[in-house]
Amino acid sequence: MPEIPNGNLESLIRERLSHTRPQDPDRVRMPGVPGDLPRLLRMARFGRVVPAAVLVPVLARPEGPSLLLTRRADHLSHHPGQISFPGGRLEATDAGAEDAALRETEEEIGLPRSHVEVVGFLDNYVTITGYCVTPVVGIVRPDFELRLDETEVAEAFEVPLRHVLDPERVRSRKKRLFGVKIVYFEIPYRHYNIWGATAGMLVSLRMALTGEMPDE
């Protein structure tokens, strides 16, 4: 498995993602998932998927970049209590995935879009709840004050970026979905368990930085 190069991780992210653009909802590549399963998720189960976007906020800390994550409120109907990126569905007033991710992030945790430099995009990710999520990667100036929307977010916390990109920290789990064997991921950090779509997107980020290809 290719290693993340030593050196400035923030510069590597800028370099490897500089050419990326938001993908068409029909284009989905997910690590650990055979190439035809995303299409099954879109068509067989849901008929259509709901476009959504999340911000992958990389905080530019002097000691090394960290990742800002949230824990969803326990009363939510979808994914209560799970670790996630800030984000949500695209609204009619959004100019696109980038606009939606920045808007939702400011609403959920109070991070102003003026503090975010969008540097690229990861592969779309289809969730089992019927969303086609575009991950928007942004470098964040950390001099802002968190203001959590407690109706959606229970807490926010940081994790060192190298921790979640370290393959030794990633656990693979297998299960069957619609009769197809898939792999999903877990990344423990302290008392948190980062798993599901969030962990899958982090594996996609690692692949983007190392040049790995997801399973077809």
Domain presence at residue 185:
yes
Q: 97 lies in which domain range?
A: 9-208
For every residue of 17-32, DSSP letters joined together read HTT--PPPTT----TT
Which token pair is 53? 């976007």
Q: CB neighbours (10 Å) of residue 179? A: 7
Based on the number of CB atoms within 10 Å of its own CB, is 108 exposed (0-12), middle (13-18) or buried (19 or more)?
Answer: buried
Domain presence at residue 1:
no
Domain presence at residue 41:
yes
Q: How many domains does the chain have?
A: 1
List residues bridging with 58 in a β-sheet: 67, 139
Q: State the pTM of this model.
A: 0.90
Domain presence at residue 198:
yes
Question: In tens digits, what is the pLDDT along the chain, a chain of 216 residues?
Answer: 566 766 689 999 999 999 999 877 666 667 777 666 666 666 555 567 788 999 999 999 999 999 999 998 887 766 678 999 999 999 999 999 999 999 999 999 999 999 999 999 999 988 877 788 999 999 999 899 999 999 999 999 999 999 999 999 999 988 887 777 888 899 999 999 999 999 999 999 999 998 876 554
For every residue of 149-208, DSSP letters joined together read -TTTEEEEEEEEHHHHH-GGGPEEEEEEETTEEEEEEEEEETTEEEEHHHHHHHHHHHHH
Domain presence at residue 104:
yes
Domain presence at residue 111:
yes
Domain presence at residue 4:
no
Contact 158, 142 (CB under 8 A): no
> Residue holding tokens 């510069």?
11
Per-residue confidence (pLDDT) for residue 168, from 0 to 100: 93
Per-residue confidence (pLDDT) for residue 13, from 0 to 100: 95
Domain presence at residue 213:
no
The CATH number of whichever domain residue 136 belongs to comes to: 3.90.79.10
Q: In sequence order, what are the residues at sequence separation of 6 or more whose Cβ sits closer than 8 angstroms to the Cβ of residue 8?
A: none
